Structures are given as structure tokens and as C-alpha cells.
Amino acid sequence: MNMQEIAQWAYIIFVAVAVFAGLILGYSAYDSYILTPTDPPANWAANIKTSDGYVLFAMLVLGSVVGLTSITRREVSGFLIATIALLVASGANVWAGLWYLHPLLFFWASAVLSYVVAFAAPAAVIISIKSVLDMAKEK
């Protein structure tokens, strides 16, 4: 197996870890939240701050590893566009409507999106810096 295949599998595994952690901690947030019939909470992880912090830190480290090792020059544009879409979706609170179907769905979706973004954002920053440096070297 070459380095590119290892990097692709690492990326897939890291995204799976983000989804799995989101489902677990989303349920923990749901379980610890006193449900009210009003609007969804502004901060879905308010009651599980410590666990959320550990998972976010792990996602930041894993995203940095991916950003440093696995994105090739021809994949940069697609990766950065996908990351921009993730960041826009996370800032738009797109999952608020799920609260009215079932609050657990809201907590799951918010947690999964949060951890996938926490994984992709540092990789995007590192790749952006590498791209800018490459462009500066060409001039």
C-alpha cells in the first residue's frame, strides 16, 4: 500500500470517528438536557463541555495530520470548496428544524456536523497556507 492509499483510508477513518463521536456525544447532550417545548438550545454541548472539549481537540489534531500529509496538489480546490460548504452549513444552524421532529435528532446532527467541521477546518487552514506558499514560490 502506498502513501496515498494510506492517506485516503486515514481520512475515511477520521471522518468515521467524527461521526461516531458525534452520535455518542449528541446522545449524551440530549440525555443531560432538560427538554422544554421551546426552541433548540443555542449551544448544543453546554452540559457536556469537558467531553466535547476532548473530542474537539482530537478532531483538531487529526485534521492537522490530514492537512499536513494527505491532500495532493490536484485535490486542493475540491477539498477547500467542500470545507467552505461545511463551514457555511455549520454557521447556518441548518439542523434547528429537527428539534421539532425529535430533539435527539437535533443533538445528533449538530454534534456530527460540529466534529466533522472541527476535523476539516485545520486541514483546510494548513492546505490553504501550503497553497499560498506554493503560489509565492512560483513568482
Q: pTM for the whole thing? A: 0.84
Query: Taken in order 26, 30, 32, 38, is the CA torsion positive or negative?
Result: positive
The rounded mean pLDDT for the chain is 85
**Calpha distance 8→118 (Å, rounded):** 18
- Which residue shows C-alpha cell 483546510? 124
Q: Is 73 exposed, middle or buried (0-12, 13-18, 19+ CB in 10 A)?
A: exposed
Does position 139 have pLDDT exceeding 70, yes or no?
no
**Are 112 and 19 within 8 A, CB to CB?**
yes
Q: Supply the pLDDT for residue 100.
A: 86
Contact partners, residue 65, CB within 8 Å, separation at least 6: 10
Task: Quote the crossing angle between the two packed helices 49-69 and 103-138, to the nearest 10°.
Answer: 30
Percent residues over pLDDT 70 in the chain: 97
Q: Where residue 125 falls among pLDDT bands split at 50, 70, 90?
A: very high
For residue 36, name the pLDDT band (cuts at 50, 70, 90): low
Q: What are the sequence ranges of the domains in the chain?
A: 3-138
> What pLDDT is stored for residue 24 in this prediction?
93
Torsional class of 93: left (φ above 0), alpha (ψ -120 to 50), beta (otherwise): left
Q: For 40-99, what is each residue's pLDDT tens digit?
A: 777 777 778 888 889 999 999 988 888 888 777 788 888 889 889 988 888 877 777 888
